[in-house]
Amino acid sequence: MQSISSEALSLEAWVPPETQATLYPAARRQWLAVDGFVTDRFLVSYRAPRARLAALVPAPFTLDDYGGYGFLSVCVLEVRAMGIRALPHALRFTNLEVLYRLGVRFRGQPTFVTLRSDTSSRALAWLGGCFSHYRLRRARIQLSRADGRFTLAAHTPDASGDAWLDVDRGPERAHTSTSVFASAEAADRQLLGMAFSVDPGRGADVLCQPIEHSPWHARFVEPKSARFSFLERLSRDYAVPLTYDNTLLMQNIRQTWLAAEWVRVTP
């Protein structure tokens, strides 16, 4: 277990990487709407200088930056009663997930691309490989809520996506000393203010998926400790210095992931 630190994870000499094939393998389209009830959602965000992180952005997107920085975020969440919209409760399931995303812009609008997702659901991991651009993989994920804490541990077969997050969901913080954002509201606008997700897709087509949800009401919380093997490896392999910025907590959210659509990008 490694404590969260505001120090950069990597300071290696920078060489712009080739990203498209390695970070964004071919996506699949989700063609049915899926919904669920998010009990807890933590967005753990790391910042990096704009020039470094822009090298990881696939065409035709551009980096969504703030104050000279771009942001890689880890979404750690529990979703209950998840399933295809209109399915009865008996056919739904609970999902624990760790999702890695990069904030970008498409046609001037804020959005994000997903680099990887690790899920506790065997069915979702299998179906996601066929019908999702979230790059879902199966993981053994354990969650504890003892003493008002949220402690999640994810174990992946090759350890590449192993993750740990331990957070006290206690009193709301008006600000946090590690962040470039002056308030949770400012962080919310930048890191959560998007209505759809995207993927570079295929050829001249981009995959866009609208997302509907109840209000976030995000607030700052301070993790006791956190570690994300995928980000550590990404930082090392692509020489992107990642600095911890903040963690936002959202609770009791109703969310729908609508059917994704191919969008033609014209020169």
pLDDT tens for 18-27 read: 555 578 887 7
CA distance 134 to 121: 14
Residue 42 contacts residue 248 (beta carbons within 8 Å): yes
Residue 210 C-alpha from the chain's centroid? 16
**Number of C-beta neighbours around residue 208 at 10 A:** 20
- Percent of the chain at pLDDT > 70 equals 92
Average pLDDT over residues 197-203: 85
* Other C-beta atoms lying within 10 Å of the C-beta of residue 59: 10
Tens of pLDDT, residues 23-55: 888 778 888 899 999 999 999 999 999 999 998
Please report which confidence band the pLDDT of residue 2 belongs to, taking 50, 70 and 90 as the band edges: very low
Q: Which strands make up the sheet holding 163-168, listed edge to edge?
A: 140-144, 149-155, 163-168, 223-228
Amino acid at 198: V
C-beta of residue 97 within 8 angstroms of C-beta of residue 139? no
Determine the Cα–Cα distance for residues 222 and 237; give it in Å rounded to an integer.
28
Instruction: Examine the pLDDT at 10 and tell me if it is beyond 70.
Output: no
pTM for the structure as a whole: 0.91
Question: Does the structure show a pLDDT above 50 at 218?
Answer: yes
Which of 66-70, 198-202, 237-241 is most confident? 66-70
pLDDT of 7: 40
> For the chain, which domains are there?
27-264 (2.40.400.10)
* CA distances to 28, 90, 133, 198, 199 from 261, in Å: 11, 29, 11, 10, 11
